[in-house]
Chains A and B, each alone.
Chain A
């Protein structure tokens, strides 16, 4: 058996990388709708300060998602807990979009942004679900190969 244990630092780092990856995922989703908004307003420039606010907010919300909201976007099934998580996070993103003036307080765009965030959460939930389903298939194929390895007891023939 492998005696190499994962250290506390390595475990923390694995979780931290996972959160940062998630934060980047949500940041790019928000950046996309922000860029679409800017383009519709006839602007080809994005505010660096807005982008900094977005990434920082995504990072904080992803921390909350993982440590306080049970990592709901990676859940096995969709229930009240997951719907609650999506509602809370969408409300926070929408609130901060108003506070930081990302969509110049446009009611229509802010409402659209909230709907878009809900859609992003549902898509990410489905993506993780599909990923796990593929992983299941790979794992069970490898398990089958492992169990039929040469030299296993079942390969031994005993003659009377």
Chain B
């Protein structure tokens, strides 16, 4: 793969990917540039499905089984929540309780609750309660406006 790096004074930083065929290598570069395009595999209605992590609203562990909730599907994952926490070590995913990971990009609205808790209304209309422990982490993440993390 040919790599061209060009520095122009005063120009806005921009990355252009030119390819003839979308090879896995090119796909990987695009995925990296897009920021959060981890692909996951799980089971939905006894069928194996591949989906992009960015489509996830939230991930929940129920009775030691992990489920990813998108706007239209509930997908059973084989990963543990701890493994997903590592895998989705991404700026838009955040732990919101002991058994749940939330995609900040899929939050429609936030509501401040008593005792420093936060109620997140997801794009699908579901309400997720973010406990006090994790609410402060969410506040920090939002304050930084998605620029870098601790």
Contacts and interface: CB of A to CB of B under 8 A. Distances in A.
Interface of A: 1-2, 4-6, 11, 14, 71, 74-76, 128, 132-133, 135-136, 139-140, 142-143, 145-147, 149, 151-153, 156
Interface string B128-141: 00001100010101
A151 B90 CA distance: 13
Contact of A136 (B111, B143, B147, B149): B111
Nearest to A5: B133
Contact of A132 (B36, B109, B113, B145): B113
Interface of B: 33-37, 54, 85, 88-89, 93-95, 101, 104-105, 107, 109-115, 118, 132-133, 137, 139, 141-143, 145-147, 149-150
30 contacts: A1-B94, A1-B95, A2-B95, A2-B137, A6-B133, A11-B133, A74-B114, A75-B114, A76-B113, A128-B114, A132-B112, A135-B112, A136-B112, A139-B110, A139-B112, A143-B109, A145-B146, A146-B104, A146-B142, A146-B146, A147-B105, A147-B146, A149-B146, A151-B35, A152-B35, A152-B105, A153-B34, A153-B36, A156-B33, A156-B34
Given A147-B104, A153-B37, A71 B150 contact: no
A4 B134 CA distance: 11
A35 to B, nearest CB: 31
Contacts of A135: 112
A6 to B, nearest CB: 5
B88 A1 contact: yes
Nearest to A142: B142
A153 B54 contact: yes
A143 B67 CA distance: 25
A156 B31 CA distance: 11
A1 B35 CA distance: 15
B145 A149 contact: yes
A4 B150 CA distance: 10
A121 to B, nearest CB: 15
B142 A1 contact: no
A7 B54 CA distance: 31
A128 B113 CA distance: 10
Given A152-B35, A153-B35, A143 B113 contact: no
